[in-house]
Structures are given as structure tokens and as C-alpha cells.
Chain A
Amino acid sequence: MAESTSGHSARYSRYSRYPRYGRVEEALRAYRLIAGMWLRASLAYRASFWITTVGNGVTSLLDFVVIAVMFQHTTVLGGWTLPQVAFLYGTSGLTLGLADLLVGSLDQLGQRVRDGSVDTVLVRPAAALAQLGADRFALRRAGRVVQNLLVLGWSLLELRLDWTLPKLLVMAVLVVCGTVIFGSVFVAGAAFQFFATDAAEVQNSVTYGGATMLQYPPSVFARDLVRGAVYGIPLAFVNWLPALYLLGVPDPVGVPGWFRFASPLAALLCATAAGLAWRAGIRSYRSTGS
């Protein structure tokens, strides 16, 4: 409607003039734009924002209170000391918290499928995953991240690890790969909701349930359960395996030694699987319309 004289051939040339942006770059840009909108919308209710942020932190602190109370009655749990368990708690909660902050809204996808708002996402010129991942972006979820960082900081002070370059590197890799693994679970769980729109709670058992499991030493759990976390849904690569190396703790189940450094591989596998699941989910949605 810009100029009444524009014929359609002129229009076509105008569209072809768009520079070709990379798909990933374009998706990240859409994510940033939409998350920014939600951020501004949430700041419209400033008091409520702060209350819920603190509330999120306090809620996630509860799990640590439980651990602290347990250590009132024992000095070690599964052979691990309180600072060591606090390290597991902090890394588990930090990576889950970051993933939740970034793509946590995906766990309400079934709701969006039911109310039809996925359609409005699919008519915009951006990847659906980026748009839906940014949907209802809520900075208040950073409450969990901050709270876990505090516990992690305390545990590192207590542990007095002897930091070497490889250890620093493994620590950084832990945070990034842990976030990717949990993020992949959120994406795969969302993909599942394309098929079962009411079953949002299933993924809680892997995300929140998995994070609860990772707060405790692997030696606490049945060997089969730990193996499942190594070879099945590879949550063990989030913090258990890197922690064996970082804290110098013996491996309770006997997995190959190099697994302690294999988190990037596990993260890559998870992300690939989640990507495929997402594509299957979107394809199913687009062939059933519901």
C-alpha cells in the first residue's frame, strides 16, 4: 500500500532485495526481540516482578534447606560432604535455572496448542522454536539462578579447590553444557506436547525431577538409575561426571574415565535429538492442525 503505482513485479524485486541472513542468526534475532518485549511487559508491574523474583529464589532454596537439615544428622551422605553436595546442588540448579530462564516457557506449549496461538507464531517470518522459546520470557526466573550461584559460591569457598587451567575449563564447560542439556530436555518435552497437549507435567520429572536427582551424589542412587542417567537421558553429564573430576571423587558406577570430559558430546547429542523431536512435533502439528 506504499505507492499506488507499484505493480507486482516491482514488489517482487523489493522482496528479493532482502539480504539473506543465516537461519541461526535470524532465529536468535527474533528470540532477542520477542524476549525483550516480554521483559518490558513484565516490568510494567514492577513490584510484582521483584516479589516473584525473590519468591523464585526462595522456592528453589527450599531444596538446599532440606540438604542442610540432612547434614545436621550426618557428616557425609553417600560418602560426600556438605560442601561437595552443595557443589552438586549449585551446579544442578544453576544449569536448570539458566535453561529455564532461556526456554522454560516451552513447558506450557500444550496450552498454546490448545488455545490456537501457535498459529499466530507460524505466520510470522521467524523460526517457530525461537518465537515460542522466547514466549513469556520472564527475568524473574533469574531468582533461581542467583540463589544457586550463591550456594555454589559458598561450596567453592569451602572446598578450596586447587584451580588449574583444565579445571577452570571443565567448570566453564559444565555450566554451558549443563544448560544445553537441560534446554534440550525443555525443547524435547515441548515437542512431546504437540502430541499430548495435556501431558505437560511429564517433562517436569526430567527437568525438575532430574535437577533434584543431580543435587545428590550418584552413590546415593541405585546403580541402574545412575546408568540410565549416563546412557539413557544423559543428565549425568550435566554435573555428576564433571564433578568426579573437579572434586576428585571416585566413580561409584564405573563408567569410562573420559566420560568426565564428554559433556560437550552429550550436549551435542541432546541438542540434536531435541532438534529432531521438535521438527517431528512441528510437522505433526502442521499435518493435524491441533
Chain B
Amino acid sequence: MAIIEVEDVARTFTVRRKVGRLKRERSEVRAVDGLSFEVVAGEMVGYIGPNGAGKSTTIKMLTGILVPSEGRLRVAGADPSRERVRLARRIGVVFGQRTTLWWDLPLRDSYELARRIYRIEDARYRHNLDRCIELLELGPLLGVPVRQLSLGQRMRGDIAAALLHDPEVLYLDEPTIGLDVISKNRVREFLAEINAEAGTTVLLTTHDLTDIERLCSRVMVIDHGRVVYDGSLEGLHGIGGSERTLVVDLATPQPDPITVPGARVVRMEGPRQWLAFPSADSAAPLVAAIAARYPLVDLSVKEPAIEDVIARMYGGEVGREMEAVSG
């Protein structure tokens, strides 16, 4: 059952630009253009794209902040822009760079306010808060004024605040931006946990592709206001002539690079060599060919860095191909 439905949605903005000293020029920008997708309840979807691609605009439309210019949106059966206040009880939103917590008050007070604003039943509130405290390790922070929390602590606090009312859909806008590695991991584990346990649908935008590798079985790539790829993370790797890398450890250092058909050595370091080969090809025949001629000790296959894949897509070389695949 689709919990988020987006059908041919467009959002245009009028931009005034300064031309010379006094004149200003008006022009129309289509931030989102012909956007369509569906998210099934319980899915966890990564929503990525370069700056200005339309990610924030999409999230704002899905939360009801922004009214679409064209098209149809449904979240949990409701039209977000028309039923904003009612829908607000059923969604949670975390803006990564903007806290909703109360700066001068202890963290606990922000949760108390949420309990009353959202009219959360006592038992449910206590249960949810305890769960967040446990998983996000908020215990020692509850009595601390928010202004004294570190960025990572504050983000954990914000995520908890967005979940106390049992939202069916959780939107996360850059939830790990600026966090240290430990905080990032804690946040990711927590999101995976609530998604698995409560079936909360999660849509997250991020620049950190590790977030997606760890969390999302499905990725949507948006560029120039439309979806250019929608599918699995692995599928994303397979596109656009990206290459995987075979790392080979030989028994003794070889003076020359390994020569096998279908691959080329990109790096050598003592007994270790790196061979690049097309992502679409299987590694097995390659390994067999190498093992037949060289003394193999160990080997591993590395997936292409997702950044490179996306960069290629943004480079425009494979844009058309993408659309064909996702279409």
C-alpha cells in the first residue's frame, strides 16, 4: 500500500535577479518538474541529488509547507497542503540544520511540549520516550539545556522529538550533516531499528552516501526537478559504465602488472595489485584467469564509490540512459 504518492508534481518559483545597478529581472524557475513516485508503507528510501535539484522542495511539499503548482500529492491518504495541521500529527520531520528543540531549556522540556502539542497519551509517551532514551542514549542529556549539547547530541534529541507521537512517515533532511562518526552510526542504527520495529516509513535526503548504503534498499536520484533514477543501490552501481575493483594479493611481488583480458591494473603496491573491470561483468572468470597464472594469496572485490557514480550521472553523460532505466 502506497503511503506516499506523488503524481506529475511541479513547483515553479519566480526569481528576481539583479541586473546592473537598478534593474531587476524576473524569471521562472521550475524547482520540481513532472515529479512522480510512490513509497510503500514501511519502506526506507534515500532521496539524493545535487544542491538545488529539488530535494528540499519535495520534502516541503510532502509536509504541506509548500503548495505544489501542479500535480497531485497524497501522504497517508491526505493532501498535505490542504490538511497540513491534521497530517502534522501523523508525520515527523527533522531538518538537519535547524533544531526544533528549546535552546535555553533542558532537553526534557522540549519533549514535554511535544507530548502536549501532539496530545500523546501518557503511556504511549512514556514508552516511546524510554525507547528513544535507550536507543539514542539520551539519558544523561535530558536535564541539560539544549544550547549546551553538541551537534550530534542535539541531532539525536531532534530525532527523538520527531518520533514521540508515532508518526507513520518520517522525513529526514540531512540527518547526519556535521556529525562525528560515532554519532552518525548511532543515528543510523536507531533509524534502522525504528523502521524494522514499528514499520515507520522513512524518506531521507543526504549528502552522505554511507547513510544510504547502511539504511536504504531503495534510492531515488533527483536532478533538475525530476527523478533520474529509482531503484536499488546495486542497480545504481551497474549504470553508466562504472567499474568495480578487484584487489589481488600475490605470494610474491611481481615486477610487471598482471595482464588478463577484460581488466586493467590501476595501482600496484608490493605484492598487491588493483584491477578495474566493468561493473556489469562477473568477477569469477577474471579470478579464474588470474589464479591460473599467478600465485594468489588473497583477493577482494570493491564496489565502485557511489560518489563517482552519482558524479557521472550529474556530469550528464548518462542522464538519458538513467531515465530509460528508471522510466
Asked if A2 is an interface residue, CB under 8 A from chain B, the answer is yes
Whole-angstrom CA separation of A125 from B92 in the bound complex: 11
Q: Tell me the residues in window 77-99 of chain B with beta carbons closer than 8 Å to chain A beta carbons.
A: 81, 84-86, 88-91, 93, 95, 98
Q: Are A40 and B109 in contact (CB under 8 A)?
A: yes
Asked if B72 is an interface residue, CB under 8 A from chain A, the answer is no
Asked if A11 is an interface residue, CB under 8 A from chain B, the answer is yes
Q: Are B81 and A125 in contact (CB under 8 A)?
A: no
Across the interface, which residues of A come within 8 angstroms of B168, CB to CB?
Answer: 8, 11
Asked if B194 is an interface residue, CB under 8 A from chain A, the answer is yes
Query: Interface 1/0s, chain B 158-169, versus A by CB < 8 A?
Result: 000001001010
Q: Are B166 and A2 in contact (CB under 8 A)?
A: yes
Asked if A156 is an interface residue, CB under 8 A from chain B, the answer is no
Q: Are B109 and A126 in contact (CB under 8 A)?
A: no
Q: A1-B194, A123-B88 are in contact. Are A41 and B98 (CB under 8 A)?
A: no
Across the interface, which residues of A come within 8 angstroms of B89, CB to CB?
Answer: 15, 18, 125
Q: Are A41 and B102 in contact (CB under 8 A)?
A: yes
Whole-angstrom CA separation of A84 from B64 in the bound complex: 52
- Set B14, B91, B145: member contacting A123, Cβ < 8 A: B91
Q: Are A2 and B198 in contact (CB under 8 A)?
A: yes
Q: A2-B166, A44-B104 are in contact. Are A287 and B67 (CB under 8 A)?
A: yes
Q: A33-B116, A125-B88, A288-B14 are in contact. Are A2 and B81 (CB under 8 A)?
A: no
Asked if B127 is an interface residue, CB under 8 A from chain A, the answer is yes
Stretch in contact with the other chain, from B117-125, B238-246, B319-327: B117-125
Q: Tell me the residues in window 30-55 of chain A with beta carbons closer than 8 Å to chain B beta carbons.
A: 30, 33-34, 37, 40-41, 44
Interface size class of A (residues with CB under 8 A): 20 to 34
Who on chain B is nearest to A131 by CB? B117
Asked if A200 is an interface residue, CB under 8 A from chain B, the answer is no
Asked if B57 is an interface residue, CB under 8 A from chain A, the answer is yes
Who on chain B is nearest to A23 by CB? B85
Query: Interface 1/0s, chain A 122-139, versus B by CB < 8 A?
Result: 111111000000000000
Across the interface, which residues of A come within 8 angstroms of B65, CB to CB?
Answer: 119, 122-123, 286, 289
- Set A2, A119, A288: member contacting B95, Cβ < 8 A: A119
Q: Are A11 and B105 in contact (CB under 8 A)?
A: no
Who on chain B is nearest to A44 by CB? B104
Query: Interface 1/0s, chain B 113-144, versus A by CB < 8 A?
Result: 10011110000100110010000000000000
Interface of B is mostly: mixed
- Considering only CB atoms and an 8 Å cut-off, how many residues of chain B contact the other chain? 48
Whole-angstrom CA separation of A3 from B124 in the bound complex: 10
Q: Tell me the residues in window 259-290 of chain A with beta carbons closer than 8 Å to chain B beta carbons.
A: 283, 286-289
Asked if A116 is an interface residue, CB under 8 A from chain B, the answer is yes
Whole-angstrom CA separation of A18 from B98 in the bound complex: 30
Whole-angstrom CA separation of A119 from B13 in the bound complex: 17
Number of A-B pairs, beta carbon distance below 8 Å: 96
Whole-angstrom CA separation of A37 from B108 in the bound complex: 12
Q: Are A40 and B91 in contact (CB under 8 A)?
A: no
Whole-angstrom CA separation of A218 from B128 in the bound complex: 61
Across the interface, which residues of A come within 8 angstroms of B113, CB to CB?
Answer: 33-34, 37
Who on chain A is nearest to B99 by CB? A120
- Set A1, A8, A15, A33: member contacting B117, Cβ < 8 A: A33
Q: A18-B119, A123-B93, A127-B85 are in contact. Are A1 and B131 (CB under 8 A)?
A: yes
Q: Are B86 and A4 in contact (CB under 8 A)?
A: no
Q: Are A44 and B197 in contact (CB under 8 A)?
A: no
Shortest CB-to-CB span from B2 to chain A, Å, is: 11
Shortest CB-to-CB span from B14 to chain A, Å, is: 7
Asked if A117 is an interface residue, CB under 8 A from chain B, the answer is yes
Q: A2-B127, A33-B117 are in contact. Are A8 and B109 (CB under 8 A)?
A: no
Whole-angstrom CA separation of A15 from B89 in the bound complex: 8
Across the interface, which residues of A come within 8 angstroms of B199, CB to CB?
Answer: 4, 6, 8
Across the interface, which residues of A come within 8 angstroms of B194, CB to CB?
Answer: 1
Residues of B that sit less than 8 Å from A by CB = 1, 3, 13-14, 41, 57, 60, 63-67, 69, 81, 84-86, 88-91, 93, 95, 98, 100, 102-105, 109, 113, 116-119, 124, 127-128, 131, 145, 163, 166, 168, 194, 197-200
Query: Could you give 10 example pairs across A and B, Cβ below 8 Å?
Result: A1-B198, A6-B198, A33-B116, A37-B113, A119-B98, A122-B65, A126-B85, A286-B65, A286-B67, A286-B81
Which 10 interchain pairs have the tightest Cβ spacing? Answer: A1-B198, A125-B88, A41-B104, A123-B93, A122-B65, A125-B89, A120-B100, A1-B194, A286-B67, A4-B197
